[in-house]
Chains A and B, each alone.
Chain A
Amino acid sequence: MAQQNGMVERRGAGLWLTHVGLLVGIAFIFFPIWLAFVASTVEQQEIVRPPMPLLPGDQFFSNYARALTSGVNAPVSTMLLNSMIMAIGISLGKIAISLLSAFAIVYFRFPARRLFFWLIFLTLMLPVEVRIVPTYEVIANFGMLNSYQGLILPLIASATATFLFRQFFMTVPDELAEAARVDGAGPMRFFFDILLPMSRTNIAALFVILFIYGWNQYLWPLLITTDPEMNTIVMGIKQMFPSGDDTADWPVIMATSILAMVPPVLVVVGMQRLFIRGLVDSEK
């Protein structure tokens, strides 16, 4: 930026105040995470005996190794893998299905097209929690309890993503579809050669959102995974809490919490570059 003054004029005191405000805000939000991290690097006794330590201890490697290999009910590495499969399955599935359904709704004229659109739209009003009992029934009858299919399939349809792609496809000029027709591309060829590459920024943005959505699923995996080997990490943390007289293994639980945070953060940071680049060289 050549110009020092942007749209908002920045002046000494105001600038500092803003920064102090932001720093305080960040510290406020970050403090619990810091505490969790500290707790994951010390021994059990240090946590339960007040005051709580505020600086990391020397048990980092042993606590994390313990969490990853044995955990409390199931090794955290297994739960991480389960969560990863579920989150990726859900986001890729959602993207594939909603791309195709948006393609159908925007580019094909079929009977009751509007009706189908509104039916899809209606499902927006029915989140997993509302239909959880019948969904459970269906999945149980299919024998999909404690399986990846059971974790992924019920969450794989997305009205939001369909709607988003529909809106995007409607901004693509009709002439592009016509040019492809003149060039001899059939509908699916047009979809894969032209529409899909053009939507890649939308896909990237959506992937981030959906991955986090899938990763953070709590209630559904809690219901259908009774086998600890199939636990996902977000619900797994809750399962680690002791019931009855057992003592909680806090350092391992905290290590698990920190580990549960890492993949979404990596996805956000990694994909952010991709979709900001996509937004900058916007093309249509």
Chain B
Amino acid sequence: MATLTLSNVKKSFGKTDVIHGISISVEDGEFIVIVGPSGCGKSTLLRMVAGLETITSGDVQIDGRRVNDQEPMDRDIAMVFQNYALYPHMSVFDNMAYGLKIARTPRAEIEERVAHAAKLLQLETFLQRKPRELSGGQRQRVAMGRAIVRKPAVFLFDEPLSNLDAKLRVQMRLEIKALQRELGVTALYVTHDQVEAMTMADRMVVMNGGIADQVGEPLEVYANPATEFVAGFIGSPPTNFLSADILGRSGDTKVGVRPEHTRLSDSGSLRARAAYSEALGAETLVHLKCADGTQVTVRQDAASTIPQEGNEVGLDWDPANEMRFDPSGRRC
């Protein structure tokens, strides 16, 4: 249990700057999700905290202790990798116990800790199996177990669910979150999946091109995106962006309205032609095209009428739900 502080952390590979200075301070026991598209530097950031990448400048502190120059094992962290990184020739027990063995933990304590973790993760019956004899979800659990037995100050997760199928992902999402709550360990979790970010995070960091665009609670980030990028990245389907031109307004402010806030109405000033619609059962997504080619999506209840393809309809929204962005993408 510990706090984690990043102050103006930067990373360059040769002359390419990958991370342009990120500062986050994570409270004890907090679950922070770093979310962003691929290539935004989120994994690199996590690996710098883990000690697998050097820190070009800035400081990483765990519980007030500067760890920049420490080896991963001295940082008191545990990491769960995307492909689990289980040692293929070792049994589940040995996989979980390996770190403790290296730390010369007494045999009895190793057994006790592994047994405890195995119980938490329902792996008791698999302890003597090899990783290849386990299913994806079970391997994921072993990777979690390996992290838990170390009793680290900080858990680091590097897209741990992206190799699982959709159903298992939802289940493991809940389990990881529950486990983290139960253990009360500070966690840093990297994902590209905004649903994971929204559902798991106490606070989330939305990264874009090596910059943290916004740090905040999920609902706050959703309701109040700081930049055009965040507005487009968080929320599904993504926010509709409309230029001032098409709205008939002056200036160069862009307007963003979420599909769930956009209404189809005959009186709407903005006219668009229905292109196609996706019926999802509980709701229907109607995709429309404005005169200048701008795509707009509207989320409709299944009960409401869906416009015929090719028909022109009006679009309308509550001005309170309108988000305005200046040309640099900042909220204004």
Chain A residues numbered 138-175 whose CB sits less than 8 Å from any CB in chain B: 173, 175
Chain A residues numbered 168-195 whose CB sits less than 8 Å from any CB in chain B: 173, 175-176, 178-185, 189, 193-194
Query: With an 8 A cutoff between CB atoms, is A198 at the interface?
Result: yes
Q: Once bound together, how far apart are the Cα atoms of A11 and B118, in whole Å?
A: 55
Chain A residues numbered 182-218 whose CB sits less than 8 Å from any CB in chain B: 182-185, 189, 193-194, 197-198
Do the beta carbons of A184 and B132 come within 8 Å of each other?
Answer: no
Which residue on B lies nearest to A282, using beta carbons? Answer: B132
A: interface residue count bin:
10 to 19
Do the beta carbons of B73 and A183 come within 8 Å of each other?
Answer: yes
Do the beta carbons of B85 and A283 come within 8 Å of each other?
Answer: no
Do the beta carbons of B87 and A178 come within 8 Å of each other?
Answer: no
Determine the chain B residues whose CB is within 8 A of the CB of A175 once the complex forms. 81-83, 85
Query: With an 8 A cutoff between CB atoms, is B223 at the interface?
Result: no
Do the beta carbons of A182 and B89 come within 8 Å of each other?
Answer: no
Query: With an 8 A cutoff between CB atoms, is B52 at the interface?
Result: yes
Q: Once bound together, how far apart are the Cα atoms of A281 and B82, in whole Å?
A: 23
Query: With an 8 A cutoff between CB atoms, is B293 at the interface?
Result: no
Determine the chain B residues whose CB is within 8 A of the CB of A193 once the complex forms. 87, 98
Q: Once bound together, how far apart are the Cα atoms of A91 and B44, in whole Å?
A: 42
Determine the chain A residues whose CB is within 8 A of the CB of B79 once the complex forms. 178-179, 182
Q: Mark B80-92, 1 if CB is under 8 A from A, else 0.
A: 0111011111000
Known: A175-B81, A283-B130. A184 touches B99 (CB 8 A): yes
Query: With an 8 A cutoff between CB atoms, is A284 at the interface?
Result: yes
Query: With an 8 A cutoff between CB atoms, is B4 at the interface?
Result: no
Chain B residues numbered 196-251 whose CB sits less than 8 Å from any CB in chain A: none
Partner of A181, one of B52, B83, B87, B103: B52
Q: Once bound together, how far apart are the Cα atoms of A182 and B100, in whole Å?
A: 11
B: interface residue count bin:
20 to 34
Do the beta carbons of B87 and A283 come within 8 Å of each other?
Answer: no
Q: Once bound together, how far apart are the Cα atoms of A193 and B102, in whole Å?
A: 11
Q: Once bound together, how far apart are the Cα atoms of A25 and B40, in whole Å?
A: 63
Count contacts between A and B, CB distance < 8 Å: 64
Determine the chain B residues whose CB is within 8 A of the CB of A281 once the complex forms. 132
Do the beta carbons of A181 and B85 come within 8 Å of each other?
Answer: no
Partner of B99, one of A173, A183, A284: A183
Do the beta carbons of B83 and A173 come within 8 Å of each other?
Answer: yes
Query: With an 8 A cutoff between CB atoms, is B50 at the interface?
Result: yes
Determine the chain A residues whose CB is within 8 A of the CB of B51 once the complex forms. 181-182
Q: Once bound together, how far apart are the Cα atoms of A175 and B88, in whole Å?
A: 12
Do the beta carbons of B52 and A178 come within 8 Å of each other?
Answer: yes
Determine the chain A residues whose CB is within 8 A of the CB of B102 once the complex forms. 183-185, 189
Which residue on A lies nearest to B97, using beta carbons? Answer: A183
Determine the chain B residues whose CB is within 8 A of the CB of A176 once the complex forms. 85, 87
Q: Once bound together, how far apart are the Cα atoms of A283 and B146, in whole Å?
A: 20
Known: A173-B83, A178-B81, A193-B98. A184 touches B103 (CB 8 A): yes
Q: Mark B121-153, 1 if CB is under 8 A from A, else 0.
A: 000000000111000000000000010000000
Partner of B85, one of A179, A185, A189, A197: A179
Determine the chain A residues whose CB is within 8 A of the CB of B322 once the complex forms. none
With both chains docked as a complex, state the minimum distance between the C-beta of B129 and any C-beta of chain A, in angstroms. Answer: 12
Q: Which residues of A contact B (CB under 8 A)?
A: 173, 175-176, 178-185, 189, 193-194, 197-198, 281, 283-284
Q: Which residues of B contact A (CB under 8 A)?
A: 50-52, 71-73, 77-79, 81-83, 85-89, 98-99, 102-103, 130-132, 146
Interchain Cβ contacts under 8 Å between A and B, 16 examples: A176-B85, A178-B52, A179-B79, A179-B85, A180-B87, A181-B51, A182-B50, A182-B52, A183-B73, A183-B98, A183-B102, A184-B71, A184-B72, A184-B73, A194-B87, A283-B132
The 10 A-B residue pairs with the shortest CB-CB distance in the complex, in nearest-first order: A184-B73, A183-B99, A175-B85, A179-B85, A283-B88, A197-B89, A184-B102, A175-B81, A182-B72, A182-B79
